[in-house]
Amino acid sequence: MDREFLTDLFADFGPVTLRRMFSGYGISADGTNFALALRAGLYFRADEQTIPQFEAEGCGPFQYQTRSKTVTVNSYWQLPARLFDDSEELAVWARSALGAAQRAALRKRPRKRAAARKSKAPAKKTAGRKTAGKKVAASKATAKQSSARKKRTGKNRSRS
């Protein structure tokens, strides 16, 4: 699948952005990636709401082979071949895939914010302790350096 074919395929859906990805293209709309066009076929983003549509059509999830196993990516499912001839229905499926991608993005956001809050809170509590500890360590290091100088020169500065 080349750029021109994919642009024409999504004409009824609306403008899409194509970016080189793996052996094909990542397809996005409004900054959200919702489809993959690879050598193996065209895959749309899916979730618990849209997977039954793909299953009803006899489609399966995206899979690839590593040296030791087959990896299944349940978030992308292969588009039914019949939709390549029906651009209007493909646009309906594409909107559904975009919706699944947007829902997935919303689910990810709170985790990042919550993790950021958790990581910041302990740092504020211990900041004073760490600073105080650094000051004590610095004064000990200065005392050791002073002691080492006295041993090297054989003199005690306080007596001179």
CATH number at residue 96: 3.30.1460.30
What is the residue-averaged pLDDT of the chain? 82
* Total domains in the fold of the chain: 1
Task: Identify the pLDDT of residue 103.
Answer: 93
Whether residue 120 lies inside any domain: the answer is no
Task: Identify the pLDDT of residue 116.
Answer: 63
Whether residue 131 lies inside any domain: the answer is no
Task: Identify the pLDDT of residue 115.
Answer: 61
Task: Indicate the length of the chain as a whole number.
Answer: 160
Report d(CA 155, CA 158) in Å as an integer.
Answer: 9
Helix (H, G, I), strand (E, B) or coil at 79: coil
Domain that holds residue 84: 3-110
Q: For the segment 44-101, what is each residue's pLDDT rounded down to a tens digit?
A: 999 999 999 999 999 999 999 999 999 999 999 999 999 999 999 999 999 999 999 9
